[in-house]
A and B are shown apart, each in its own frame.
Chain A
């Protein structure tokens, strides 16, 4: 998305994977972990992309983003629970129909709630960072409690559809089918996002708005309306990510939003606030790192991501792709 492609950050992902190979030891385990890490990274990217664009456009840091993740996942439990004869079927296409309809419903619900969230929670505090952090955090708490009221506070299992279970053997390594699906969906979302941002007029305006909001406004475009759209799309993407995260973990808890929130903050800081390309690299790095350390040093998994962020910030204090003018 930049004219002079800054290639150094792109090398980080393969570098991290290569570095982990001797530490993990066996190459089949390494392959399994790498695919798992990439799948997790793609899911995190889907969630984080909306957040980073919202920040880039309007300087709004939404601490309540996590609530849309949980919302999407809980909607998916209801939809998939209602389509149990479709998910229990052995046929792949029937499973996929069930999963995709769950994704669509979750995206619609999360997008609609996102619109309401923007209207009631975020709009009154534009331009006031301190209040934004406090208010969106409050919104997060309220949302989480409402989810508990609707679906109950307990953990709900979200079983994988029949044909998506199990793994494909690839040499010595085995690769879970669902992870391949996650990578595929992630790539589709990334392609759609990249195409919209770089090839359509709306994308042009969004990118211009991230770079210099006032200039776009002075040219006569209503950036606020654009922003509302980006906010809704970002929430919908978080809902989609929530469905995928829930299926990945195979169960959902109301607190999952807060848990994933921590990961996506690390991702967008690594990527540079406002940069989609940076968010992709950050997400892949975090996904890989989480899986490698989960295997090597399970107790330090969360700290490894913080260490990764610190290392990146020492190298580029504004994130790997700093957004201009900030």
Chain B
């Protein structure tokens, strides 16, 4: 228990059902290639891993520090583009991955620091608006610099040979699964996710994380006690940007492709917001649970909508509303309803099934 406690930074799930869910999730993800054979299932599992890291890093900002950033996908995109561009230019290899990721991390650091210092200095609400503007500008820039980023088409590139599907490191399939580079790549992502999540748990449960929560609850009092609110908020936004950048690199590594729609688009931002809100703001476990629920819903609910739309073919209005292209509409409704009626998310509910009060939102 002691070692586990240290890995979890003594941030226990504090609910038996939640603990069971998390263990089941860990088990399912660890054995996903063997439990759920098939290309689509493995893709879904890998996407879940990436979104767990992305949503957890966003939760550091939204749930723990209480500030909203709309530029989170920008850092996600920087990570993905870093790997993609470096691998295209230098050929697929570990060196390219390393160079791409380090440059991307550096760029994220500088950008996050600049945005944070400029906007958080005055008022936290500026941060939301300025991040929105910067993210929009960055997205336009990324599709305009087409020599560099591949424009709207994006970049398809090679990954290190060990991680590519053509690499087979055992002749015989094991338990019906061929042991190829794809499997290695999945487990690389899995290990990275576990390590990054543990690191984030360490951050939010450190004295630094406590200060962030104090700022979220009462900025004025935190400042009065003697904490430099700007410094803490900026550090938090930089850390969250760096984790998002790594998540982007993971996505690019898995897809062996990156384009504006996969990593930079506003829809991804919306997805992350929804994951964090549904899972539960202010708990990293919430990000994990939310990511699983969301990615599963996204991958399979659209089929359901298509069925509904076909069934409602007699009423054109209903069919238009249920069309799978309008999936974002239902997502938005779900989002608004969960902010109203479900403010602590799944994890908040599991932890305190009776009371409806959760972490205070700052005013």
Residue ranges of A at the interface with B (Cβ–Cβ < 8 Å): 61, 63, 121, 124-125, 127-131, 133-135, 137-139, 141-142, 145-146, 148-149, 153, 258-259, 261-262, 265-266, 269, 299, 302-303, 305-306, 309-310, 313, 317-318
Which A residue's beta carbon lies closest to that of B281? A130
Residues of A within 8 A of B328 (CB): 141, 145
Is B126 an interface residue, CB under 8 A from the partner?
yes
Q: Is the CB of B122 within 8 A of A135?
A: no
Which B residue's beta carbon lies closest to that of A298? B144
Residues of B within 8 A of A146 (CB): 329
Is B66 an interface residue, CB under 8 A from the partner?
yes
A137-B121 CB under 8 A given contacts A261-B132, A269-B130: no
A-B contact pairs, 22 of them (CB 8 A): A63-B128, A124-B340, A127-B363, A128-B363, A130-B362, A133-B68, A134-B273, A134-B277, A134-B339, A135-B336, A138-B335, A138-B336, A141-B328, A142-B332, A149-B321, A262-B132, A302-B140, A302-B141, A306-B133, A313-B122, A317-B121, A318-B122
A310-B321 CB under 8 A given contacts A130-B361, A303-B141: no
Residues of A within 8 A of B320 (CB): 149
Q: Is the CB of B141 within 8 A of A299?
A: yes
A317-B329 CB under 8 A given contacts A61-B128, A129-B363: no
Residues of A within 8 A of B136 (CB): 258-259, 262, 302
Going nearest first, the 3 A-B pairs with the smallest beta carbon separation are A145-B329, A141-B332, A302-B137
Q: Is the CB of B118 within 8 A of A310?
A: yes
Is B266 an interface residue, CB under 8 A from the partner?
yes
Q: Is the CB of A121 within 8 A of B336?
A: yes
Interchain CA distance A51-B325 in the complex, whole Å: 30
Is B125 an interface residue, CB under 8 A from the partner?
yes
Q: Is the CB of B132 within 8 A of A139?
A: no
A141-B121 CB under 8 A given contacts A134-B335, A302-B137, A306-B133: no
With most chain B CB atoms within 10 A of its CB, the pick from A128, A141, A149 is A141
Given contacts A129-B361, A269-B129, 6 further A-B contacts (CB under 8 A): A128-B363, A131-B343, A134-B68, A303-B141, A306-B134, A310-B118
Q: Is the CB of B66 within 8 A of A130?
A: yes
Q: Is the CB of A142 within 8 A of B129?
A: no
Q: Is the CB of B325 within 8 A of A313?
A: no
Interchain CA distance A130-B282 in the complex, whole Å: 13
User: Nearest chain B CB to A300's CB is how many angstroms away?
Assistant: 8
Type the 1/0 row for B104-131, where 1 means its CB is closer than 8 Å to any CB of A: 0000000000000010011011101110
User: Nearest chain A CB to B273's CB is how many angstroms away?
Assistant: 7
Is B326 an interface residue, CB under 8 A from the partner?
yes
Is B270 an interface residue, CB under 8 A from the partner?
yes
Residues of B within 8 A of A135 (CB): 336, 339-340
* Cross-chain contact of A306 among B122, B124, B137, B329 (Cβ < 8 A): B137
Q: Is the CB of A149 within 8 A of B137?
A: no
Is B296 an interface residue, CB under 8 A from the partner?
no
A141-B270 CB under 8 A given contacts A130-B66, A265-B133, A303-B137: yes
Interchain CA distance A305-B133 in the complex, whole Å: 9
Is B331 an interface residue, CB under 8 A from the partner?
yes
Interchain CA distance A36-B350 in the complex, whole Å: 57
A266-B133 CB under 8 A given contacts A146-B329, A318-B122: yes
User: Nearest chain A CB to B316's CB is how many angstroms away?
Assistant: 10
Which A residue's beta carbon lies closest to that of B122? A317
Interchain CA distance A173-B122 in the complex, whole Å: 43
Q: Is the CB of B129 within 8 A of A265?
A: yes
Residues of A within 8 A of B336 (CB): 121, 135, 138-139, 142
Residues of A within 8 A of B66 (CB): 130
Is B1 an interface residue, CB under 8 A from the partner?
no
Which A residue's beta carbon lies closest to that of B270? A141
Residues of A within 8 A of B121 (CB): 317
Residues of A within 8 A of B128 (CB): 61, 63, 133
Which B residue's beta carbon lies closest to that of A300? B141
